[in-house]
A and B are shown apart, each in its own frame.
Chain A
Amino acid sequence: MRSISIMTILAAALLSWPGADARGTEVDGTIKLGGVIIDEQAGDLSAVQETYNLEEGFSFTQLRLNGNFDPKTYFSLDLANVNLRNRRGEVEFRVPSLLRFYGRYDQWRQVFDPERTVTSDRKDWRFGAIVTPKRWFTLYADYGYVSRAGDRLAFPVGTTSVFGTRYDYALHTFRVEGEVHQGPRTFALAYDHSDYRDGLSEVADRKGFVASGRVFTPCRFDERLTHFVRAAYGQSELDYSGLDYTIQNIQYTGVFGPIYRVQLRYSFFANRTDDESTELKTDDFRHDVDATYFHRYGSVFAGYGYETNDDDRSLTSYNLYTVGGSFNYRQRVNAKVEYASRNKKDLEKLTLLKDVEASRLLAKLTVQPIDRLTIGAQAKQRERDFPDIGVEAEGLSANGFARYEYEGWGSLGGEYTYTADEYDDLAGDYETESHVVTSRVVLDRIPGVRLGGGLTYLDVGKDLDIEKSIGFVEAEYTFREDYHLELKYNVYNYDDYILLDRYYTANIVWINVAYDFRTP
């Protein structure tokens, strides 16, 4: 509550902005109040993550404000689940072309045990501003605060960890960036700072910074060529031991368009990481080139990359290939085929994994035969082999979907995804196969009434045996123009047929009344 109170105070501060001339102020908004009814039957209350933050009882579901003080000053505030443990909010204030201030808050409870007694809460704050005092200069500033507190269980249960059985940490981050534009050129300098404090273990406290710069400019001699250069220097240090590591990197990307339909691109990346703990200086160099031919009906592209990684102890190199094409016809047909591979060579055979061969083949097709109907399909095959240590992993994913909209009636949509993953090493193998169906229907046919429903069903087989489903129906009735009655019913079901105690069923009903208001 305290967090949202701060958000509300901020909103009030915005409303008292000097520009808030009562005569020019216009506000519209929504206030939504209601309640939640929960009926659970479970052997494991941690089985369905979607229910971790639901609470039975009264709910201050939403407060939304949107408006302007005069024609040039705008604000918005959106608070959700104000009295619940998954409360969140966003606030924004903006003067177009001069200032934008934003703030955001959310929190989330994680549940670890079947009784839902071992939990931790994560809270996330963000504030920032973007100021453009001159057309050629923009200043960005951003502050973030993430904290986590509560209990935890080691995984698997029964093991121990020096992290203990509790969370109590906070991360503060701050970023400031100045960006200068001059014609088509951009130059920016940024500074990032982070500070991590662990309330349970001072040896984990650390702070770090990254100072970086970037330049973006067309070539002085040929504007068909654009240069992009970025460089960074950073350090992260443990307070207790003084141990640190540093990074230094520089990146260049050049994009050249000799003719409009052709684009050539070259990227270079060099990075050094100096890690006191491993006593290794790791140098990473990457070169990537690619070419794309654009046609009004699609594109064809191909690329090659070469990378070396040298940490004084071992030297590895990588070859990367990609080739593919896309086809687009009047936004009615979109198709894409792409193959990519990445092969690692351990030149001295000193790394643990030694050589690695990885590849991916992707094909997708989306068709819109009529304006109201979209149909699509996608398939992806992945392989990853570690020939020297006898490990193979491969996965297949195939997906199909359809959406249909009929004005005045509503919409209907659904998708099906099949995945199969297989993993083998010298000790054993592991296989899973899953079917996932999601669907949703919305009916707008009756004036003032909106009806919806849907289902998510997941079936995981082979070495696992899990079924999970979430079904919902919802209805919204608008009366007296500005009032809305909302009803929503969800049923959650989870069954693990191997871990038999891990089952969960819940029937949950939300009832809300919303009122839309606006200044005359």
Chain B
Amino acid sequence: MLALTLSRHDTAATDYPPTSESCVECHDDALKSLTGTVHAIDLDAEKPGVWCTSCHAGDPDAHVDDAEASPMAHPARLDARAEAAVCATCHASSHQQNMMEWNAHAENAVNCSSCHLVHGNDNLRLLAQREPELCMECHPSVEGEFSRSYRHPVLDDVIECSECHMPLAERSRTPGFRGVGDVCFQCHPQFRGPFPFEHQATVSYSTEEGGCLNCHEPHGSDQPRMLKQSYEAPHFATCSQCHLVPTHQFNVQHGSQWAGVACNQCHVDIHGSYANRYFLAPDLSLQGCTSWGCHQF
């Protein structure tokens, strides 16, 4: 939503019941279609609430005289910015502010009513359809991503698109703590940190370009654990995309015993460790691996 013209309408304060009562004489179905929603019009209210002209701008008196010559505005038929300005008259929460900052929907001529239907709708948040069907109308390739072998259960009605993609909306839990990964930590709190020994790849503020999405594909993947790269012998691409360590992958001193051994056989807690700066398993020290020679830390 763009917020260039967020000046609040005066109509809500000046349009007393008589105007809306006039509207209802011809548009009683429109009044009924708002029943139960936040936009319900209460003709008996003592103080101004939401009236027809709060959203439908124009000259109501002239419209009553000649509806064709003096039409009232229909917000859903306005362009994205103009409709946003009407809605923002009352709705200026963090959701609208996010839309202003990122602007992606407005740039693609997606206006508020593309997702929210005001009349004749009793869905939660006045969504035109339930998620994820609503989102996939415009993002059809995503359905295929959620059909892959390892995926988030979005098509199973367990997770909604907006839980991740609108992190400051009301469904969010933990805004602004640890960067983009905050979205992930809503459901995977065990990786949130702090860890006494952090892995720079998991923290999004890092100079190493960290974050969950470095290794994981959030919609769906054909790799276990929704990994982006394969995690298989001989070179475990998930790790080797950043760590091409000759003394590991090609170390003859380990001999055949360690050839093709998974990285996390030794580096057990790659999301961050409570015990070792190299995320090494505590039992390695018992085996003597870290007591002398090349692993004496």
Which B residues are in CB contact (< 8 Å) with A244?
A: 194
Q: Quick check: is A49 within 8 A (CB to CB) of the other chain?
A: yes
One digit per residue, 1 when the CB lies within 8 angstroms of any chain A CB and 0 when it does not, for chain B 207-231 equals 1110000000000001011000111
Of chain B, the residue at the smallest CB distance from A75 is B36
Q: Quick check: is A175 within 8 A (CB to CB) of the other chain?
A: yes
Whether the pair A334, B108 counts as a contact (CB closer than 8 A) is yes
Whether the pair B36, A401 counts as a contact (CB closer than 8 A) is no
Which A residues are in CB contact (< 8 Å) with B193?
A: 206, 236, 245
Whether the pair B171, A436 counts as a contact (CB closer than 8 A) is no
Whether the pair A438, B100 counts as a contact (CB closer than 8 A) is no
Which B residues are in CB contact (< 8 Å) with A192?
A: 173-175
How far, in angstroms, from A277 to B195 measured CA to CA in the complex?
7
Closest chain A CB from B293 CB (angstroms): 22
How far, in angstroms, from A292 to B102 measured CA to CA in the complex?
12
Whether the pair B141, A88 counts as a contact (CB closer than 8 A) is no
Which A residues are in CB contact (< 8 Å) with B171?
A: 126
Within 8 A of B (CB), among A149-187: 154-156, 158-163, 169, 171, 173, 175, 179, 181, 183-184, 186
Whether the pair B269, A309 counts as a contact (CB closer than 8 A) is no
Tell whether A236 pairs with B144 under 8 Å between CB atoms, given A273-B205, A463-B230.
no
One digit per residue, 1 when the CB lies within 8 angstroms of any chain A CB and 0 when it does not, for chain B 235-253 equals 1010011111000010000
Q: Quick check: is A108 within 8 A (CB to CB) of the other chain?
A: yes
Closest chain B CB from A76 CB (angstroms): 7
Closest chain B CB from A317 CB (angstroms): 10
Which B residues are in CB contact (< 8 Å) with A472?
A: none
Closest chain B CB from A190 CB (angstroms): 8
Tell whether A468 pairs with B196 under 8 Å between CB atoms, given A267-B101, A352-B208.
no
Of chain B, the residue at the smallest CB distance from A244 is B194
Whether the pair B140, A425 counts as a contact (CB closer than 8 A) is no
Whether the pair A401, B140 counts as a contact (CB closer than 8 A) is yes
Max count, chain A CB within 10 A of own CB: residue among B97, B176, B268, B275 = B176
Q: Quick check: is B25 within 8 A (CB to CB) of the other chain?
A: no
Which B residues are in CB contact (< 8 Å) with A292?
A: 103, 107
Whether the pair A438, B144 counts as a contact (CB closer than 8 A) is yes
Which A residues are in CB contact (< 8 Å) with B173?
A: 142, 144, 173, 175, 192, 194
Closest chain A CB from B37 CB (angstroms): 7
Whether the pair B4, A183 counts as a contact (CB closer than 8 A) is no
How far, in angstroms, from A31 to B141 measured CA to CA in the complex?
34
Whether the pair A336, B205 counts as a contact (CB closer than 8 A) is no
Interface residue range, chain A: 35 or more
Closest chain A CB from B81 CB (angstroms): 7
Which A residues are in CB contact (< 8 Å) with B186?
A: 146
Which B residues are in CB contact (< 8 Å) with A208?
A: 177
Q: Quick check: is B46 within 8 A (CB to CB) of the other chain?
A: no
Which A residues are in CB contact (< 8 Å) with B178?
A: 236, 247
Contact of B274 among A158, A194, A204 (CB under 8 A): A204
Interface SS of chain A: strand
How far, in angstroms, from A463 to B198 measured CA to CA in the complex?
32
Q: Quick check: is A369 within 8 A (CB to CB) of the other chain?
A: no
How far, in angstroms, from A228 to B4 measured CA to CA in the complex?
11
Whether the pair B206, A282 counts as a contact (CB closer than 8 A) is yes
Contact of B6 among A94, A184, A466 (CB under 8 A): A184
Contact of B156 among A50, A138, A299 (CB under 8 A): A50
Closest chain A CB from B78 CB (angstroms): 11
Contact of B241 among A315, A326, A423 (CB under 8 A): A423
Of chain B, the residue at the smallest CB distance from A198 is B190
Which A residues are in CB contact (< 8 Å) with B40?
A: 72, 96-97
Contact of B190 among A163, A352, A393 (CB under 8 A): A163
Whether the pair B237, A417 counts as a contact (CB closer than 8 A) is no
Whether the pair A415, B140 counts as a contact (CB closer than 8 A) is yes
Contact of A353 among B108, B148, B177, B209 (CB under 8 A): B209
Contact of A389 among B3, B244, B249 (CB under 8 A): B244
Whether the pair B209, A247 counts as a contact (CB closer than 8 A) is no
Q: Quick check: is A460 within 8 A (CB to CB) of the other chain?
A: yes
Interface residues of B (CB under 8 A from A): 2-8, 35-40, 42, 47, 49-50, 79, 81, 92-94, 97, 100-101, 103, 107-109, 122, 124, 140-141, 143-144, 147-151, 153, 155-158, 170-171, 173-178, 186-187, 189-190, 192-198, 200, 203, 205-209, 222, 224-225, 229-231, 234-235, 237, 240-244, 249, 262, 264-265, 268-269, 273-275, 281-283
Contacts A96-B36, A263-B4, A263-B81 supplied; 11 other A-B pairs, CB < 8 Å: A90-B124, A232-B175, A247-B205, A257-B5, A282-B206, A313-B207, A334-B108, A397-B141, A430-B229, A456-B147, A463-B230
- Could you list some 21 contacts between A and B, CB below 8 A? A90-B124, A96-B36, A140-B170, A155-B264, A162-B281, A184-B8, A196-B190, A210-B177, A228-B100, A243-B196, A245-B193, A247-B205, A256-B4, A263-B2, A276-B194, A351-B207, A352-B208, A353-B242, A399-B140, A415-B144, A463-B230
